Amino acid sequence: MSPLPPAPHPQTLEECWAVIDALWARVHQLEARVEELERRLGQNSQNSSRPPSTDPLGLRRPPKRPPSGRKPGGQPGHEGHQRALVPADQVTSSTECYPDECERCAHKLDPRRNREVGEPLHHQVTEIPEVTPQVADYLRHALECSCGHVTLAPLPAGVPAGAFGPRLQATIAWLSGTCRLGKRIIASVLADLFRVEIGLGSVTACEQRASDAVAAPVVEAHAALQEQPVLHADETGWRQRRQRAWLWVAVSVTLCVAVFQVHWGRGKKAAQELLGRFAGWLVTDRWCAYEHHPLDRRQLCWAHLLRHFRAMKEYRGTVGRLGAELVTLSERMFRWWHRVRDGTLTRAAFRRKMAPLRERVEWLILDGTRTRVKAVRAMCWELHRLSDAMWTFIDVEGIDPTNNAAERAVRAAVLWRKCSYGTHSEAGGVFAGRMLTVTASLRMQGRNVLDYLTQAVEASLRGQPAPSLLPGRDHVMPLAAAA
């Protein structure tokens, strides 16, 4: 630390007042600096955009509901829930069990002489069979023609040129893209569970073939997404070739489809590539890349706004009071909205309640543009400019005030990024986007991901149209397949 400069020694009253004024200004400057540093130090997932994984260990989260006082687990007297019985046509073996003697008097019992009481009690035991891989050996004979040319027999239609069948290729893609396992772990799983030895390069090759097999369905899903009335969009950080990239997602709740794309940028160009010709209602956060979409067709995420208001609340003075009231009004709005969703509050009553609340929130935001804190002023000016996009959900049915649909979809991608450090090539980025699209869409629809991937790889080997990702459609339309 450098030594302190010598203290001033004023000689006159005017010089004393000048020193006092300078010190007073410096105190205010340092107080503002300390307040800003304390605010940054106190940032967490509840008052900023930081993820919950970065929260400090001592952070106390507000309980969602008060404790009930009951012990964990089943409560005395509660109705029991048993595992559902497997249908008889799916049972592989059945064994009849009869008692040999009476429990009370030890008398011998015989089902041919003693009366049976009631129906037998089923006790089903499910077991996984030991897996033995099926290896098909195709002996390609070579025959010499009378002209002297030797012809090697081609493989039958649908037989892969590589060493692994369609279900094994699909399983590798599923372990990688859905279960988020690394290539060495995938090789270990295949060896331990299925007794299949495979190299790391073969794992990558199988991933690529599965990626190619679902290319047309992903294109079709992306095109269908752009025709929907409402979309949720979000973006998160990604790593590609050890460099900063971005993963974008667009979700349609009504269509039950989510499309992911890895892009080098986070700007307008990437957003336009994701949204394409979409002209409906767009639910997002305040990120500027979405501003090419008309403001009157947007809805800002109130979960993000609530976090910003909580950050304002932690300031002292006027800013803190404004933030506290904005938090109160936002939480009140969410309570009313939850009642609208569960049917205990009508839309008309909700609109009437929201009219004065909206007016008050907009007044508080406008008041925030005159505060002394630069960051708060800037945020309030931006909210004032985007105010029309804050209230779309009040009048337009089918629009949610939060972007939870997109944030839920992107959560699996964040977990993949954290355990794999992203992708290492352009092809890997395409594979990640396609597999995330397939997994998220099929899970929203309640369809089996592994079965779908197997069907897609089989169709690719046979030169047939791939199964569609869209609900209610069997195969990809020819136009999407050509794209």
Q: Can you name the residues that pair with 239 across neighbouring β-strands?
A: 244
Question: pLDDT of 340-392, one tens digit each?
Answer: 999 999 999 999 999 999 999 999 999 999 998 888 999 999 999 999 999 99
- Residues 390 and 306 reside in one and the same domain: yes
Establish if 456 belongs to a structural domain.
yes
Establish if 316 belongs to a structural domain.
yes
Which domain-ending residue is among 402, 437, 464?
Answer: 402
pLDDT value at residue 157: 86
pLDDT value at residue 340: 94
Assess contact for 245 and 429: CB atoms under 8 A. yes
- Residues 337 and 395 reside in one and the same domain: yes
- Residues 382 and 471 reside in one and the same domain: no
What element of type H or E holds 375?
Answer: helix 374-385
Structural domains counted in the chain: 2
Establish if 472 belongs to a structural domain.
yes
- Residues 318 and 358 reside in one and the same domain: yes
pLDDT value at residue 54: 62
Angstrom distances, CA of residue 24 to CA of 17, 405, 437: 10, 50, 59
Alpha-carbon span 433 to 261, nearest angstrom = 5
- Residues 315 and 379 reside in one and the same domain: yes
Alpha-carbon span 280 to 51, nearest angstrom = 29
Listed as own residue / partner, the contacts of 469-476 with beta carbons closer than 8 Å and 24 or more positions apart are 469/214, 469/217, 469/218, 469/220, 469/221, 469/257, 469/437, 469/438, 469/441, 469/442, 470/220, 470/221, 470/224, 470/255, 470/257, 471/255, 471/256, 471/445, 476/216, 476/217, 476/220
Establish if 460 belongs to a structural domain.
yes
pLDDT value at residue 372: 85
Which domain-ending residue is among 402, 418, 452?
Answer: 402
Residue numbers in the chain where pLDDT is lower than 50: 481-483
Which domain-ending residue is among 367, 402, 437?
Answer: 402
- Residues 312 and 397 reside in one and the same domain: yes
Nearest to 174 by CA among 478, 475, 480, 443: 443
Alpha-carbon span 319 to 368, nearest angstrom = 7
- Residues 398 and 311 reside in one and the same domain: yes
Enumerate residues 6+ apart whose C-beta is below 8 A from 46. 59, 61, 62, 307, 310
Indicate whether this model's pTM tops 0.85.
Answer: no
Question: pLDDT of 153-176, one tens digit each?
Answer: 999 888 888 889 999 999 999 999
Establish if 82 belongs to a structural domain.
no
pLDDT value at residue 45: 60
Q: Tokens at residue 300, please? A: 């800002």
Q: Tokens at residue 400, please? A: 């949610």
pLDDT value at residue 482: 46
pLDDT value at residue 201: 93
Q: Can you name the residues that pair with 232 across neighbouring β-strands?
A: 251, 283
- Residues 310 and 393 reside in one and the same domain: yes
Dihedrals φ, ψ of 441, to 5°?
A: -65, -45
- Residues 378 and 440 reside in one and the same domain: no
The parent domain of residue 359 ranges over 302-402
Establish if 268 belongs to a structural domain.
no
Alpha-carbon span 50 to 417, nearest angstrom = 16
- Residues 386 and 461 reside in one and the same domain: no
Establish if 208 belongs to a structural domain.
yes
Establish if 170 belongs to a structural domain.
yes
Per residue in 243-259, is it b (16+ CB within 10 Å) or e — as a string?
eebbbbbbbbbebbbbb
- Residues 320 and 387 reside in one and the same domain: yes
